[in-house]
Amino acid sequence: MRNSVISIFLVVFLSIQAAGTNYYVSPSGDDDNDGLAPGTAWQTIDNGDQDYEDVLEPGDTVNILPGTYSIWNSIELKTPGTHSEPITYHKLGEGDVEIDGTSVWEDATLFVIGSHIVVEGLEIVNSYWDGIIITGDSNTVTSCYIHDITTDGIDVGGADKDACGNLLLRNIVAFCGESGIENDNPAQNNTYYGNTVYECTYHGFYLKDEVTTARIFNNIVSSNYHGIYGTVENVCGFNNVWGNVGGNYFNGVTDSAGGISKLPKFEDPDNGQFELKSNAFEIDAGLDLGYPYNGLAPDMGALETSEVAYIDVVPSVNTVIELTSSQYSVNGYDSDSNLVKDCSNSVDWSTTDPAGSVKAAGLYWAGNQVSPPDYYVKAIYCDTLSDSGRVSVIASLDYIKIECADGSPFDDTTLITDNDTTKLYEVPPV
């Protein structure tokens, strides 16, 4: 459901099919190649910007093949795209694209200088200064992993540049010596959706004092000194901001709606595993802002849980005494039968028990009409996936029947002992 309080018109550049030329970059490439096929790839990611005049044009895509790129000079993306035809730099194929900035002495490992540029799927590590500096307008940085950075992970505006209208979408920024994401003066109208910012020495988000138009939604901001630092004019919502020792919100900025403050349920963040556990409360807890997601709503944080291919109601077979309750749950699985998430609070529950009911959280209350026939407790997820569990409703017991081990009746129900080990009690009728 879209929030009527704020109107957000979001263009996800990656959904646009580029009409231009595809170029390729590989750690084993050669910048003297034409770059038009994996076998004739360039070696330098910004080769189309640096060494050839007017090579890149709006709509072109630079496909970066997996591997480690140990660079000596910063990567500078200068050639601008257009609103409808951005220039895209993205990871191609399985495996990581790791850019190691250990030997780069410039202000950042990667500069986004032009406008209407998309940077997708890169891992930037060990930057001597910043990981990424954005000085152009209307750029998108998405699905990147920036970590172990000496100063800022991503700096929008750089050295007081008027960088406006940029989007940071679903990035992980962790273990930075200063701020995770910094919005410098006077850069305005920048948006930060669905990022994870973790364990940075100063701030998770640092919006400098003249910045008044930032929008920060659907993020997880945890274990920094300040969570989100900024003035009251900036709008934050539907974020999980937790465990930031100097304050989750600081300098006037506040949560406007939908925010929580709970220990994030990551798999193993200290070892770079920021996937959400299947029972994480961040799942489906974000605000629909127009970018793709699985489930009922976007997850908070950078890593969206997998699409649910089918659901299982648990227990699948059950016996319940009339006029008592039993708890049901629903697990969601992907197409490879991996557990994705607990869907118990995200399904529509119902039962065929004419005198029974099911509460929203899956608590089934049996009616007074005992089986046969058996009844069903049913769950429907996202209007398309369904499963049921069979339930037998039995009458309430007014006595206990005691049998010997061979199945013959035990008639004497007065208090006795069996080999001085087992006590048998008479249970009077109710």
pLDDT for 360 equals 85
Q: Taking residues 202-209, what's their average pLDDT?
A: 97
pLDDT for 125 equals 98
pLDDT tier for residue 401 given thresholds of 50, 70 and 90: low
pLDDT tier for residue 409 given thresholds of 50, 70 and 90: low
pLDDT tens across 23-43, in order? 999 999 999 999 999 999 999
- Per-residue burial over 238-268, b if 16 or more Cβ lie within 10 Å, else e, is bbbbbbbeeebbbbebebbebbbbeebbbee
Distance, in Å, from the CA atom of 247 to the CA atom of 223, rounded to the nearest integer, reads: 10
Assess whether the region 13-276 and the region 310-394 belong to the same CATH fold: no
Is the pLDDT higher at 412 or at 159?
A: 159
pLDDT at position 93 over 50: yes
- Please name the fold of domain 310-394: Immunoglobulin-like (2.60.40)
Q: Positive or negative, the Cα torsion across 31, 32, 34, 37?
A: negative
Which of 295-299, 411-415, 424-428 has the highest mean predicted lDDT (pLDDT)? Answer: 295-299
pLDDT tier for residue 158 given thresholds of 50, 70 and 90: confident
pLDDT at position 419 over 60: no
Amino acid at 205: F
pLDDT at position 352 over 70: yes
**Global confidence as pTM:** 0.81
Structure tokens at 112: 């986004």
Q: CB under 8 Å to 186, separation ≥6 — which residues?
A: 157, 160, 162, 210, 211
pLDDT at position 70 over 80: yes
Distance, in Å, from the CA atom of 50 to the CA atom of 136, rounded to the nearest integer, reads: 17
Percent of the chain whose predicted confidence (pLDDT) is above 70: 87
**CA 252 to the chain's CA centroid:** 27
pLDDT tens across 269-301, in order? 999 999 999 989 999 999 999 999 998 899 999
pLDDT for 112 equals 97
Give domain limits for the chain: 13-276, 310-394
Strand partners, 156: 134, 183
Give one DSSP letter per residue of 210-263, joined into a string: T----EEES-EEESSSEEEE--TTSEEES-EEE--TTEEEETT--B-SS-B---
- Please name the fold of domain 13-276: Pectate Lyase C-like (2.160.20)
